[in-house]
Structure 1
């Protein structure tokens, strides 16, 4: 691809310690962990391609997560308190637009206090604080590598990397959630593909020569309501093996779509034949076929 004024030059392969979030996401020639998950069911390549070409607008959910990342990790967009209870006036809307135009996040006073309290709760958590200790690591580091099997570019943006990367590498990844209990997080691992993220980040670390071959991602999940509880979660080996197979399928799908220029939806050439959900089939068989 020839670079033009409208085509950003892709970052060089390897680890980048100071690449902006905007420059990281501007590389459309590479595949990320979130992109790999978007290529697979229940999504599809057509949705992946559309979201690549049409970035999602800011939302309150993303604002809270990004604001918490800023105060917990020490890197991210500027946070600005916008006074006043109402944000629906012309003056307030203009102020909000100005903040977003320069890349910041507008927050109400109680929202700013919330993310400050979340950061304080992380610092009080023994394991969470140790994993994110600024004396021994740095936030928001990006890596780019070539997948040997397919030849495509892959990328990763680590929330945090330890300064010392010899031996076994522990990769903390910070998540905000409404419920950080084990039961709820098991569902989130499936819903959001966190096992795929773990496999992707661990493979990325190995490809980038970080630590030894035993890199491991740990989720630091924190609730967004008092007392802002924290749960540090590892992904079991079996779940990561499944994730590895799914990520490999996503990489091959990306390579095929990029080669052909065809990003299929749910069913392009023939119908999908579907069954009732298992619970409904069992219920109706008992009621009507017995």
Structure 2
């Protein structure tokens, strides 16, 4: 499937770093490519899905609510949090309060959910390294940057969870993630599943393009579990994984440039069939069981 329908355009923010640009204004710039967009352009997704989502954002869900609420309490910036003080949300009164909160752009939470994100923020402040990285005396949340990719000429954008106030020397860029399991083994899988290595390369490239720090900018993930005791794991991405990510991001940028030029946003297979094989484990199993 392909789509060439233009999403609603908004005035593009100026190039450079923006310290007070709203989240809505940042995401409204459909002329530029973000890290999450770059990942959406590549398999197992496709350009058609990416382009559709430019004008059809994902609806609210509990997973997004928890993540955004935790960002608000930990980083100090984001939508308002509103406690809906009903044991169940299936009553008419509760539904009305939830709808009112959503209409105001707030995140509705139950009392125990508000306590959860409050306790998560407390756990971050007690973690020596995470607390140092997110110290409000030396940085600020939710800053946006826009730059031109020299090789393709397209606009790129980044929204830093947190940016240190000192932009000289080696820049460390903290990025906060909530998860069910912040152990090393689980996060290695998440780096692959969610493309966190691509995000690291994108943010580091953006920092260099924006003139932030020297050429050795590094993103560190601050992963935190959503269940007590709300354990924290500060994670760096190895050089080899970031080199691979750089190649994938380059492929995404070139795909975006081509699609923007032609107005053609391909799906999985538009002109000919895709021939697929059994997964390796299934092929080995069935060969052993059924082939001579």
The two structures have a TM-score, normalised by structure 2, of 0.96
Matched residue SS, 2:48: helix
Q: Which runs of 5+ in 1 are unaligned?
A: 1-5
Aligned partner of 1:3 in structure 2 is none
Give the 3-state SS of the residue equivalent to 1:19 in structure 2: coil
Partner of 2:142: 140
* 1:77 maps onto 2:79 in alignment: yes
- Look up the SS of the partner of 1:135 in the other structure: coil
Per-residue deviation, 1:281: 1.1
- Rounded to whole Å, the distance in 2 between the matches of 1:84 and 1:266 is 45
For 1:172, which of 162, 165, 174 is the aligned residue? 174
How far did residue 8 of structure 1 move?
A: 2.0
Q: How does 1:55-70 map to 2 (within 5 A)?
A: 55-70=57-72
User: Is structure 2 residue 255 aligned with structure 1 residue 267?
Assistant: no
Q: Which residue of 2 aligns with 1:35?
A: 37
Q: What is the CA-CA distance between 1:279 and the residue it aligns to?
A: 1.0
Aligned length: 285
Equivalent residue of 2:137, what SS? helix
User: Which residue does the alignment assign to 1:17?
Assistant: 19
Residue 221 of structure 1: which of 220, 223, 235 is its match?
Answer: 223
Are 2:165 and 1:157 equivalent residues in the alignment? Answer: no
Instruction: Specify the alignment match of 1:285 in structure 2.
Output: 287
Tell me what 1:90 maps to: 92
Q: Retained in 1: the 8 A contact 2:9–2:29?
A: no
Q: Distance in 1 between matches of 2:249 and 2:130?
A: 28
Q: Could you tell me which residue of structure 1 aligns to residue 132 of structure 2?
A: 130
Q: Kindly report structure 1 stretches of 4+ aligned residues shifted beyond 2 Å.
A: none
Equivalent position SS for 1:176: strand
Cα deviation, 1:131-179, whole Å, max 9, x if unaligned, reads 0000000000000000000000000000000011100000000000000
Distance 1:138 1:118 in 2: 19
Unaligned runs of at least 5 residues, structure 2: 1-7
Moved more, 130-139 or 268-277: 268-277
CA displacement, residues 67-117 of structure 1 (integer Å, 9 cap, x when unaligned):
000010010000011101121122221211111111100111000000000
> Quick check: 2:221–2:235 contact (8 Å CA) kept in 1?
yes
CA distance in 2: counterparts of 1:7 and 1:141, whole angstroms: 21
TM-score, length of structure 1 as denominator length? 0.97
